[in-house]
Amino acid sequence: MIPTPDSFGQFDYDMAHLLEGTVLLFSFALLYQRRLYAVIQTYTAQALTVAAACFWQAHVQHSADLFATGIVTLLAKGIGFPWALTRIAARTHAAGSVEMSFGVFPSLALGLFLACLALLVVMRIPAGAALTRETLAMSLSVLLLGLAMMTTRSSAITQTIGFLSVENGLSLAAIGVPGMPIVVELSVAFLVMVAFIVFGIFFFRIRAQFDSLELHHLDRITEAPE
Amino acid sequence: MIYPLLAIFAALLGVGVTESFIPSLASLLRTMTAALCAMGLAIAVIFLLFRLTAAGLHLPFGPPGLGINLALDGLSAFFLLPVFLSGAAGLWAARTEHLSGGPLIPVFIAGMVLSVLAADGFTLFVGFETMSTASWLLVLSYGEPTAAVKAGRLYMTMAVVGAMALLGAMAVGFGVGGDFTAWRAHPPHGAAAAGLLALLLIGAGSKAGLPPLHGWLPIAHPAAPAPVSAMMSGAMTKVALYVLIRFLFDLAGHNPPLWWGVPLLVLGAMGALLGAARANFETDIKSVLASSTIENIGIIAASLGLSLIARAAHLPSLAAMALGAALLHVLGHSIAKTLMFLVTGAVDHAAGTRRMDRLGGLVHMMPITTLCAFCGAASLAALPPMIGFASVWMVFQSLITAPRLGSFVLQMLMPVMALLLACGGALALSAMLRLVGATFLGRPRAVRTAGAHETDFATSLLFMGLAVLCLLLGLVPGVVLRLANPTLTQLVGADLTGQFGLLAITTTTSGASYTALPVAILLGAILLGAILILRRHPAVVRRGRAWDCGYAAPPMFMPFGDTSTQYGATSLTEPLGRSLGVPLFDWQMSTTIPEPGEIGPARFGVVWYDPVLRFLHAPVLRTRDWLADRAELIQRLTIRRTLGMMVLALVVLLMIVALLEQSQ
Amino acid sequence: MNSPILIALFGLIALALHVTVLAIGAPWLLGYSRCLQARLQGRRGPPTLQVFRDLTRLWRKESMLAENASSVSQIAPLVVFAASATAALLVPSFALGLSTGPASDLILIAGLFSLSRAASALAAMDVGNWFGGLGVSREFLLAFFAEPVLLLVFFTLNLVAGSTNLDHIAELLRTGVLGLRLSLGLALAAMITVALTEMGRLPIGNPSTHLEVTMLHEAETLEFSGRELAFIEAAAMLRFFTWLALLAAIFAPFGIAPAASPFDWPLGLLSFGAKMLLLATALVFFEAGVARMRIFRVPELLGIALMLSMLAVLFLFVSEGYT
């Protein structure tokens, strides 16, 4: 099924749209959450929504591939990553409050601005293309918000979560494309898994070195030679 | 109809001259001037109501080859309404007051009348500058000298900058000669049009209080005597808006590009927010009111911008709705603001101060004034069923039906503008509640305030008249829209006929309607029913000490309790200051709480400043001082050099003329 | 059945029925929510009808006014009540096309709420003690953040339904031609936040608090007793009811009956009752799970609501395409 603007009002399409929107909402929530556990929970909810969107598309497109992707998403991103993140948070004693480097209102304004930007970019694509503009706009917004989170947050764990939500945006776009081969999906998932492990090791190294996960400690390394 | 208006203009000048020679007649002359203004108001209403044909008049003196051209059409007649209304009310309130600048008031009004009636650039400029200069002198003539001089210097600088920009706008847009008819035939294009727009936004915008040149209003408007402040906020800003409308809607042609309205829309919405925000932090009543003027001018300007956009997008009915909303707001704001400034004058007179942190409890001493102030404030805060709500309703309706205009960026702009205006609306409500609450309610904060008295009968009649006007026009806003109809047809090619009536204003696009009268009747019926039931079964009412959550009784030597424990003007907006004042005005609060056992008062202070004043107005002021220093040098020249300079100037001017001759 | 006189007559009868629903339903719903809240907290709680008894008790008691209270203290509560009641009359309950239907404009309803808020602020400032001022100053803060959210929600609704007339919107959404819209969902979330703020419910305010410094709306009414308080309380009940009815009319207009066909009224009444009960129950359950926020955190919550409402408008632009 290739959604076109005419498909508004059709339940299949509206439901998919609703799920994508929810993913974006969780991206906004990630941007302004203060506490680390809340951030992890929000990420979990986002990943679960992505899985739900995946299952929905599998149902609509009658595609077994997407169904498999959904299961992978659910297991890895919905259950695996959050569990690992919670463990890391507990092990590194970073569970307390996450310092905002930005404040609620500025980060929300930034988020809105990025979403607007995504819309403006996507508006150039003619309606009825392979990927609907709405899906593309949403996934681009999720991606940009994830990047914004990576740049505005000061803690390594929240930055990683930003990275993971960028990946969520990518898979959102991938799900929307009918006939996306499962190989691509799986390889992306695998890459993310590797990245995640690297991040995990990285955390413990930083933690062992500086007794904190705040990234501004790393600035000292680059400044050291002077 | 233009001859009687000309006669009134001449009479106004005559009255001014007479008063300056025979000051003992001041009271009589001001009553006469008020009557003249009332006559002018009647003429304008008749002209609009019966849709009389536009009239022009050419007077054979003035600049060679041009003369003085006057014209009366729907637009100028509509803008005569606030001028005359505010003028009549202000002069009536000032009739017994001793004002050293008294003779200037009729001249001030005459200047506004001339600007509105002018039909060529020269006359318009003369009228505009007469208005500026007269009001500047009035600012200087009143109050504490140092403060007056400070306000006057700021005002003069802004007026000069505005005047130069206005001249520049006319020169860039239309060249030197010709009257409005000739200008209309050759509207500017391209860069000239852009230059006209930019210079007009400075020239007329600085007078009206459009950002970024709005910072001086809350300093200069309050410095004048109350009736003059009323005219400055109620009428003079409207004349500046008239100039904007005349140039942008009429003279610059009927098909400017779509983006023409955007600067006006954005600046207006910003002004609405900034003005309303500032109104929440000022502590002088008049400064609050002047800040609220910025907010209202912003609403009007945003609506004008929207109308321009809609007209360029060939949506005449939306353009008519937005322009109608702007005109309705012009009149409504003028009435309410005049009322509020005059009330402030009465309060100042009765209680000896305009500072809200020394007032309070005036409802007991001045009940009628308080009631009228409630009406005026409700109108300024856009509460139904006052006139302010009707116009704001129309503005919002046109704004939320607008988003399908133009490019995507423009479409996205609309919700943002609606957001700014809504923030401004909420802030206006809190500013007005704070004003009436701190001034009229609670307990007097100073002994002098406790000795206040009600204003005299004739003035309270005036207050009641204006308050009733706020309410009545709010109930039947169609009356004003009918007066605005000729203007709408003239400027946007459509009018609102059929969209307003006794019962409702309706939008064509969405069928939403504001049913002022029926809803007000419903509200009134419920209110009346409740009162009647209370009358029929009167409750036992007992008076006692305020409960105040069981706090201890005040000591004997404080008959009103410790009045400084009340929430005052500053503390009422403390939460707003913390969240909004900090980013906008660098709002900072300091509290001093003495240790237990220490003998010393607890203190609470707030500092804030308007960044516009510091970052934008201050450089202008510095440039002014620099120029003044340079000008000083000329005065110190020897006679021979002075003469030489004059000859040099003459030669240069002749050379310019010769060059111009050559190029033609 | 289609003669205009008959339709007008049915509109009037439906309005009368609407008034009855308001008079009984508004206090009852508040009583129900209090009862349920008490149960959730492990208390037995007051019976549902306690609210009626409270009102009659207040009505019979004498009024105690401060020595320096002016007539504002006596009249403002009536204005608070009248404005809230007028707003309540404009929001349809079980039927569309009441006689007040043409007047039920969303911006006007917001204006009436503002009027009631302004009157209660004036009443609070009349005596001049500091609790009243405290309540008013907080009211200012919340209104500044809540008002724009509400307007943007109206903006969205106007884009979706093409009008700000509530009858029109409800009619359009009832027929379901618009389907499931992300924008509507976002607008719903934003509007619920505003409704919680305006009703002073958790997590923004706590209506059952007895600690003066944590009060929002209650701080404004501390000086009132007897009939004045009765009017203020009745107005609060009406506002509670009206906000829920507003949410129901816009976002769940199922089963709402046209006023012109009286045979559908019973069904309309039933579904309306069920919706209100459901909303109140959901509200109480939600409140049981959250804690009251610090007052200076509330702007952040409303800022999020603002973002939601802005996104609602944006996504409407996306989904309807660039025109």
> Could you tell me the two tokens for C87?
């707003």
Distances B286 to A200, B217, B378 between C-alpha atoms, Å: 63, 10, 17
Portion of chain B with pLDDT greater than 70, in percent: 98
Q: Does B402 lie in the same domain as B328?
A: yes
CA B210 to chain C, closest CA, distance in angstroms equals 22
- The b/e string for B45-83 (b: 16+ C-beta within 10 A; e otherwise) is bebbeeebebeebeeeeeeeebbbbbbbbbbbbbbbbbb
* Contact criterion met (CB < 8 Å) for C144 and B430: yes
The strand pair at C257-258 and C95-96 is best described as: parallel
Structural tokens at position A67: 């169904």
- The Cα B304–Cα A55 span in angstroms is 51
Which among C118, C137, C151 is the nearest to B383, CB-wise?
Answer: C118
Distance from CA of C110 to the nearest CA of B (A): 10
B79 and B175 housed in the same domain: yes
The pLDDT assigned to C120 comes to: 94
Nearest Cα residue to A30 out of A137, A116, A123, A114: A114
> Does the pLDDT at position C144 exceed 50?
yes
Q: B603-638: per-residue pLDDT in tens?
A: 888 889 888 887 877 888 888 888 888 888 877 777
Mutation target vs A (from C318, C320, C323; most A CBs, 10 A cutoff): C318
| The pLDDT of residue B557 is above 90 | no
Q: Which of B437, B504, B539 sits opposite C63 (nearest CB)?
A: B539
Residue B182 within any structural domain of the chain: yes
Give the span between the Cα atoms of B477 and B469, in whole angstroms. 11
Question: What would the pLDDT profile of B218-268 be if each residue is shown by its tens digit?
Answer: 989 888 889 999 999 999 999 999 999 999 998 887 777 888 889 999 999
Confidence band of B476 (pLDDT split at 50, 70, 90):
very high
- DSSP label of B552: P
Average pLDDT, integer, range B339-352: 93
**Does residue C178 sit at the A interface (CB-CB below 8 Å)?**
yes
pLDDT of residue A4: 44
Whether C310 sits inside 8 A of B415 (CB atoms) is: yes
The residue range of the domain holding B423 is 270-495
Give the closest-approach CA distance of C210 to chain B in angstroms: 11
Give CA–CA dist B555/B115, Å, rounded. 60
Helix (H) or strand (E) holding B606: strand B603-607
Distance between CA C136 and CA C122 in Å, rounded? 9
pLDDT score of B208: 92
The rounded distance, in Å, linking the Cα atoms of C238 and C234 is: 6
What is the distance in angstroms between the Cα of B49 and the nearest Cα belonging to chain C?
28
Pick the residue of A116, A125, A133 with the most B CBs within 10 A to test the interface with B by mutation: A116
B518 within domain boundaries: no
- Are B423 and C147 inside 8 Å of each other by CB? yes
Residue B181 Cα distances to B55, B71, B79, B122, B124, angstroms: 13, 10, 20, 14, 14
Express each pLDDT in B493-535 by its tens digit.
888 888 888 888 888 766 788 989 999 999 999 999 999 998 8
Q: Does residue A21 surpass a pLDDT of 70?
A: yes
Task: Indicate whether B167 pLDDT > 60.
Answer: yes
Q: Are C74 and C84 in contact (CB under 8 A)?
A: no
The answer, yes or no, to whether residue B62 has pLDDT greater than 80, is no
pLDDT per residue as tens digits for the range A175-191: 776 665 665 666 676 67
Query: What pLDDT was estimated at residue A207?
Result: 66
Which residue of chain B is at minimal alpha-carbon distance from C323? Answer: B404
User: How many residues does the structure list for chain C?
Assistant: 323
What residue in B sits closest to C210 (Cα-Cα)? Answer: B549
Q: How far is CA A49 from CA A44, A54, A157, C156, C184, in A?
A: 9, 8, 21, 25, 19
- Assess whether pLDDT exceeds 80 at residue B108: yes
What would the mean pLDDT of A6-35 be, rounded to a whole number?
78
Q: Are the C-beta atoms of C223 and C127 separated by less than 8 Å?
A: yes
Distances (CA, A) of B233 to B268, B288, B474: 16, 12, 20
Residue B19: how many other CB atoms lie within 10 Å: 25
What does the alpha-carbon distance between residue C61 and residue B475 come to, in Å, rounded to a whole number?
Answer: 37
Identify whether the C-beta of residue B260 lies closer than 8 Å to the C-beta of residue B173: no
Across A203-207, C189-193, C301-305, least confident range? A203-207
Q: Does B630 touch chain C (CB under 8 A)?
A: no
Res. A172 pLDDT band, cuts 50 70 90: confident
CA distances from B410 to B133, B262, C150, C316, C317 (A): 40, 8, 22, 15, 12
Which residue from B292, B268, B276 is spatially nearest to B413, judged by alpha carbons? Answer: B268
Does B549 contact C at CB distance below 8 Å?
A: yes
Q: Which domain holds residue A41?
A: 5-223
Contact yes or no for B408 and A120 at CB 8 A? yes
For residue B595, give the DSSP letter: P
Coil, helix or strand for B506? strand
Tell whether B481 and B605 lie within a shared domain. Answer: no
- What pairs with residue B378 in β-bridges? none
pLDDT of residue B284: 93
Domain boundary among B256, B285, B304: B256
Q: In angstroms, rounded to a whole number, what is the distance separating the alpha carbons of residues B235 and B80?
A: 9
Residues B248, B320: one domain? no
Give pLDDT, residue B331: 96
Same-domain status, B209 and B119: yes
> Residue C262: which pLDDT band, with cuts at 50, 70 and 90?
confident
Which residue in C67, C82, C158 is closest to B510 by CB distance? C158
Among all chains, which residue has been given the structure tokens 């919905």? A78
| pLDDT tens-digit readout, A78-127 | 888 888 888 887 877 666 656 665 677 788 888 888 888 887 777 766 65
Instruction: Supply the pLDDT for residue C322.
Output: 46
**Same domain for B456 and B434:** yes
Residue in A9, A14, A127 nearest the CB of C177: A9
Identify the pLDDT of residue A177: 67
Same domain, B218 and B294: no
Closest chain B residue to the Cα of A122, Cα to Cα: B408
At residue B75, the pLDDT reads 93
| Residue B511 touches chain C, beta carbons under 8 Å | yes
Chain-chain contact of A8 with C315 (C-beta, under 8 angstroms): no
pLDDT at B509 (0 to 100): 67
Give the Cα separation of C116 and C113 in Å (integer): 5
Q: Report chain C's mean pLDDT, rounded to a whole number.
A: 87
Q: Is C150 in Cβ contact with B523 (below 8 Å)?
A: no
At A182 the pLDDT is 60
A14:C179 CB<8 A:
yes
Question: Residue B59, SS3?
Answer: strand
- How far is the alpha carbon of A17 from chain C, nearest alpha carbon, in Å? 7
Number of domains comprising chain A:
1
Q: No. of H helices and E strands in chain B?
A: 28, 7
Kindly indicate the confidence band of residue A2, based on its pLDDT and cuts at 50, 70 and 90: very low
pLDDT of C88: 95
Domains in chain B: how many in total? 4
Range with the poorest average pLDDT among A54-68, B370-384, B413-427, C61-75:
A54-68
**From the CB of residue A175, how many other CB atoms can be counted at a distance below 10 Å?**
29
Does the pLDDT of residue A218 top 70, yes or no? no
Whether the CB-CB separation of B403 and C159 falls below 8 Å is answered with yes
Phi-psi region of A179 (alpha: psi -120 to 50; beta: other; left: phi over 0): left
Under the banding of pLDDT at 50, 70 and 90, the label for residue A3 is: very low
Nearest Cβ partner for C67 among B519, B523, B543 = B543
**What is the chain A residue with the closest CA to C308?**
A25
User: Would an 8 Å CB–CB cutoff place C290 in contact with chain A?
Assistant: no
CA–CA gap between residue A114 and residue A120 (Å, rounded): 10
ipTM: 0.94
